[in-house]
């Protein structure tokens, strides 16, 4: 998969997964960056497939690892978490359906893709909804203003599943193995790394602005 052409000379290239806790922590940051540079920089979202296709139910050591990660993300980002999640008797942490839902929204309503990514993450982390279930994901799409039946059909289509796999492959070919990962640039001139992992917004707007000034003067 290649990012589609943008109307801007440069775009953010954002690799993420809606069921990645650090991506959830980064949600307000990428939103602020996208808004701050909306008139100068496009945005292309690529799903990374953090645990896509996982079929193993969480074990106790998995629960402990995830609980610790959520605690650290909450402390670093201020994002809320619903720890009632850990009262579930069983859960299979497969991120493919959530990624596929974001790809479906990206196709149906591109301008809503970033917001929807954040909505899916919030549904999972803050309100303990099961975002491995395409029915729940279709409900969230309807809450975002899309036709539920049309979204459901698209998200379950073979075409959309293949498109989602192309996202995963592109992320792998780009050498992205951790999320969130944010770059800026274009296919012709190449990309510069903004962050590989969570970062607070402090200094990022200024840094991107300085990069743009230099790039646009070249």
Q: Give the pLDDT score at 4.
A: 43
- Evaluate whether 199 touches 207 at the Cβ level (below 8 Å): no
Q: Give the pLDDT score at 218.
A: 77
Torsion of CA 120, 125, 130, 132, to 10 degrees: 60
Q: In what order do the strands lie in the sheet with 10-16?
A: 41-47, 10-16, 181-186, 190-196
- Look up the pTM and report it: 0.94
Strands of 168-217 (E only): list them. 181-186, 190-196
Residue with tokens 């299979």: 92
What is the pLDDT tens value at each position of the chain, 218 positions in all? 444 444 689 999 999 999 999 999 999 999 999 999 999 999 999 999 999 999 999 999 999 999 999 999 999 999 999 999 999 999 999 999 999 999 999 999 999 999 999 999 999 999 999 999 999 999 999 999 999 999 999 999 999 999 999 999 999 999 998 999 999 999 999 999 999 999 999 999 999 999 999 998 87
Q: Give the pLDDT score at 7.
A: 66
Q: Give the pLDDT score at 70.
A: 98
Query: What are the residues whose beta carbons fall under 8 Å from the beta carbon of 55, sequence distance 6 or more?
Result: 92, 94
Query: Hey, is 39 helix, strand or coil?
Result: coil
**DSSP tag of 7:** S
Give the C-alpha distances (Å, rounded to integers) separating 102 from 40, 47, 98, 141, 201.
24, 8, 6, 9, 24
């Amino acid at each position: 998969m290649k990012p589609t052409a943008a109307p801007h000379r440069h775009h953010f290239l954002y690799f993420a997964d809606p069921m990645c806790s650090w991506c959830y922590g980064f949600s307000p940051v990428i939103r602020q960056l996208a808004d701050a540079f909306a008139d100068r920089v496009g945005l292309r979202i690529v799903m990374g497939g953090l645990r896509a296709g996982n079929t193993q139910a969480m074990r106790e050591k998995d629960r402990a690892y995830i609980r610790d990660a959520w605690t650290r993300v909450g402390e670093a980002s201020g994002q809320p978490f619903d720890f009632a999640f850990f009262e579930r008797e069983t859960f299979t942490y497969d991120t493919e359906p959530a990624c596929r839902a974001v790809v479906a929204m990206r196709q149906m309503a591109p301008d809503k893709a970033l917001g929807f990514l954040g909505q899916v993450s919030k549904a999972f982390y803050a309100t303990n909804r099961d975002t491995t279930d395409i029915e729940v994901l279709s409900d969230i799409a309807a809450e975002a203003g899309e036709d539920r039946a049309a979204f459901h059909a698209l998200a379950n289509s073979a075409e959309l599943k293949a498109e989602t796999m192309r996202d995963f492959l592109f992320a792998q070919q780009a050498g992205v193995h951790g999320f969130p990962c944010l770059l800026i640039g274009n296919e012709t001139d190449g990309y510069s790394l903004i962050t590989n992992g969570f970062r607070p917004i402090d200094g990022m707007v200024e840094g991107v602005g300085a990069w743009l000034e230099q790039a646009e003067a070249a």
